[in-house]
A = this chain, B = another copy of it.
Amino acid sequence: MLKLSKKADYALVALSHLQATELPASAKEIADRYNLSAQMLANVLKTLTQSGLLASKRGAMGGYALGKRPEHIFLGEVIDAIDGRQSLSDCTSLDKRCSAETNCPAKSPILMIHKKIKQFIDSLTLADIANREILKGVSIDIPFSS
């Protein structure tokens, strides 16, 4: 649980790279650079483009560039685009529902915890991620304790 898919990993590598170099790059270039499966990365980048996170140019000398400014690319968006929006638990998504349903004592807490985590990853931008120094300073305050 709490695991990023490899595709999401690839997406972050590519986005970080594009953010750092500020130059367009082809899927192959990036794959070679970081020793990733070219075909798989190509699929990932294609998906990111469909979601508007990347801008693409076809043909010779084509490639990918960031589709928005790094400050406007949120980690949550990236994960949603690649893995599809998912809930922390099936019972916190509206369509599916677990058998316990109404009288379940865990449902509401799980939902709240899910919201907190989502809030967190939605608050992180590519710019934040790329800037390690800033990230180091982040602290999550949990103002209650048992």
Contact = CB atoms under 8 A, between A and B. Distances in A.
Interface of A: 1-6, 8-9, 12-13, 15-17, 20, 33-36, 70-72, 75, 79, 83, 86-91, 98-101, 103-106, 108-110, 112-114, 116-121, 123-125, 127-130, 132, 134-146
Per DSSP, chain A at the interface is helix
A34 B104 CA distance: 7
A79 B113 CA distance: 13
25 contacts: A1-B2, A1-B3, A1-B5, A1-B79, A2-B88, A2-B117, A2-B118, A3-B89, A4-B88, A6-B90, A13-B105, A16-B109, A17-B105, A34-B100, A35-B100, A71-B146, A72-B146, A105-B130, A109-B129, A112-B136, A113-B124, A120-B120, A120-B142, A125-B146, A139-B143
A37 to B, nearest CB: 8
